[in-house]
Amino acid sequence: MKKILFAASECVPFVKTGGLADVVGSLPKSMDPKKYDIRVIIPLYHAIPEKYRDRMETVYYFQMDNRIYVGVKKLVMDGITYYFIDNEQYFSGLVPYYDMFQDLERFAYFSKAVLSALPLIGFRPDIIHCHDWQSALIPVYLNTVFQGDPFFRGIKTIFTIHNIRFQGTWNVGHLKWVSALPSECFKPGLLVSPFQNTDYPENEWNASMMRGGLVYSDYITTVSNSYAQEIQTPQFSDGLDDILKWRNNRLWGIINGLDYSIWNPSTDGKIAQNYNLVTLKKGKEANKMAMQRRLGLKEDGKVFTIGLISRLTDQKGLDLIDQCMDQICSMNINLVILGTGDRRYEDMFRYYATKYPGKVSANICYSDELSHLMYAGCDALLVPSAFEPCGLTQLIALKYGTIPIVHEVGGLKDSVKPYNQFEQTGTGFTFHDYSGWALQDRINHANWVYYDKPSYWKEMQKRGMKEDWSWTNSSKIYADLYEK
Ligand code: ADP
Ligand code: GLC
């Protein structure tokens, strides 16, 4: 039996801001429990609901480096053991992330605390599987500060990139201070880019925690094949293409899967009416009307309804939607938005909701419940991202018979097959050029097929619903990697 520890900053059902939490919550459950004992460790945020906190037991507490408190709590749920690193000073806020400056210190602490706790909690993993920059220092600490301790000898590490845009970057002086890592880690080529401008004093060079994870881990993965290729180019790598090219024989692209016990229209308890391939039309109409009632839109089961469920950040292609809004709203279309994020995008959607009342519904909030109803009630889902490592919303949409309209990039390209009207193939509308015009063209096409060729539309829905985007395939690839 292989023992594996997932270290991450979020995990469903405890705390979620994006797809990272979905993946960390669902991948361990998809692995064969007879072969793998997979446990998960995350910070004990105050944001974790009471109903879980109340059931946790304290496993151990100690002073790390004789000065900082580390508590370790534990909860076993659905066959998975979850550990939580407790420290009020760092994790008592209402949200998991603050600003980058504070988060660097909080997650450097978390990474070191994870390793420091292992000898004390009775779990020695064969592999530590780290996710994104918040746990990227684990491989660095393991191969430096903790190297002398026989307990840690032979533990392997995997680092998974969910989003290369966020790296935990600051100047060397500050990162040295928050991490207390030895100076040798900050040589160019390690936590520091080899292309630093040497005119600056060393302490002012930029250092990146994610770069550390990429340099010091045994294997690197990312969440789709296309993204694995893209991040080896300067256009997509945010300055890390040198290391990714250098280590590309250790870089695997493995597409994410979904937990179909959560995301399945025939069993989903959060939607108005369950449906399947046979009851698709009626079921989606009933959900659409329930959604319209809930959001104060006119009840009309037939109106073409497009959804957007997204963090509202530059990554997500919202500038393209801005360029198209007036034209979209001149059509017989409803647009339902669910998201939070950058103020300027939140205000942009609020503005359009005021400009086009009854057509645009802007829900600037986080709501798991509403997201389920939207996946079921919308006809199409927009995912025009500038870059998208994997993307889960288009995968969920496919399962719910909601046609994705996506930019051909990263995981979107790997999961949505372009619609071909002549051959009657494909599962969504895709565009190549990152432009408002290209997006508008796909929306026009979708609108035409929806209203004028309903049988084609229905066949496309069915093709998507029949596909398998569960973890079945990808968990086998992770198993191959764990065996290596
Ligand atoms: P990312 O991780 O970049 O945000 P993904 O597509 O991988 O993008 O995952 C987004 C996840 O978060 C999906 O499960 C989606 O349903 C969910 N989500 C995003 N925004 C909201 C929101 N405002 N309310 C509820 N769920 C949301
Ligand atoms: C990141 C990416 C998203 C991916 C998710 C889970 O947040 O932006 O594309 O699906 O991680 O891997």
* Residues 154 and 174 reside in one and the same domain: yes
Ligand 1 mutation pick, 22, 308, 311, 336, max ligand atoms within 8 A of CB: 311
For ligand 2, whether the C-beta of 162 sits within 6 Å is: yes
* Residues 31 and 138 reside in one and the same domain: yes
Percentage of residues in the chain with pLDDT exceeding 70? 100
Helix (H) or strand (E) holding 458: helix 454-466
Indicate if the pLDDT at residue 208 is higher than 90. yes
* Residues 33 and 128 reside in one and the same domain: yes
Cβ distance 84 to 43 under 8 Å? yes
> Nearest 5°: phi and psi at 42?
-140, 170
For ligand 2, whether the C-beta of 163 sits within 6 Å is: yes
Indicate if the pLDDT at residue 199 is higher than 90. no
How confident is the model at residue 412, as a pLDDT?
A: 98
Cβ distance 362 to 349 under 8 Å? yes
**DSSP symbol at 419:** P
For ligand 2, whether the C-beta of 104 sits within 6 Å is: no
Cβ distance 143 to 216 under 8 Å? yes
Pocket (CB within 6 angstroms of ligand 1) = 18-20, 22, 309-311, 338-340, 366-368, 371, 390-393
Distance, in Å, from the CA atom of 253 to the CA atom of 18, rounded to the nearest integer, reads 19
| pLDDT tens track for 227-240 | 999 999 999 999 99
Residue 49 included in any domain: yes
* Residues 479 and 445 reside in one and the same domain: no
Distances (CA, A) of 291 to 224, 295, 298: 32, 6, 10
For ligand 2, whether the C-beta of 390 sits within 6 Å is: yes
Cβ distance 290 to 297 under 8 Å? no
Of all atoms in ligand 2, which is nearest to the CA of residue 160?
A: 12
Residue 317 included in any domain: yes
Which residue's CA lies nearest to atom 15 of ligand 1? 393
Residue 90 included in any domain: yes
| pLDDT band, very low/low/confident/very high, at 129 (cuts 50, 70, 90) | very high
How confident is the model at residue 198, as a pLDDT?
A: 82
* Residues 394 and 441 reside in one and the same domain: yes
Residue 189 included in any domain: yes
The alpha-carbon radius of gyration of the chain (Å, integer) is 23
* Residues 59 and 108 reside in one and the same domain: yes
| pLDDT band, very low/low/confident/very high, at 132 (cuts 50, 70, 90) | very high
| pLDDT tens track for 330-344 | 999 999 999 999 999
How confident is the model at residue 94, as a pLDDT?
A: 87
In DSSP terms, 208 is beta-bridged to 169
* Residues 224 and 294 reside in one and the same domain: no
How confident is the model at residue 470, as a pLDDT?
A: 98
Residue 263 included in any domain: no
Residue 104 included in any domain: yes
* Residues 229 and 285 reside in one and the same domain: no
Residue 179: which domain range? Answer: 2-257+472-483
Per residue, what are the HEC states of 73-103? EEEEECCEEEEEEECHHHHCCCCCCCCHHHH
Mean pLDDT of the chain: 97
For ligand 2, whether the C-beta of 391 sits within 6 Å is: yes
| pLDDT band, very low/low/confident/very high, at 84 (cuts 50, 70, 90) | very high
Residue 271 included in any domain: no
* Residues 307 and 340 reside in one and the same domain: yes
| pLDDT tens track for 258-295 | 999 999 999 999 999 999 999 999 999 999 999 999 99
Q: Beta strand 68-77 with 57-64: parallel, antiparallel or unpaired? A: antiparallel
Once rounded to an integer, what is the mean pLDDT over residues 376-392?
A: 98
Of all atoms in ligand 2, which is nearest to the CA of residue 389?
A: 9
Which residue's CA lies nearest to atom 1 of ligand 2? 162
- How many angstroms is it from 201 CA to the middle of ligand 2? 35
| pLDDT band, very low/low/confident/very high, at 183 (cuts 50, 70, 90) | very high
* Residues 49 and 177 reside in one and the same domain: yes
Cβ distance 175 to 191 under 8 Å? yes
How confident is the model at residue 392, as a pLDDT?
A: 98
* Residues 19 and 121 reside in one and the same domain: yes
Q: How many domains does the chain have?
A: 2
CATH number of the domain to which 373 belongs = 3.40.50.2000
How confident is the model at residue 287, as a pLDDT?
A: 98
Residue 216 included in any domain: yes
* Residues 232 and 251 reside in one and the same domain: yes
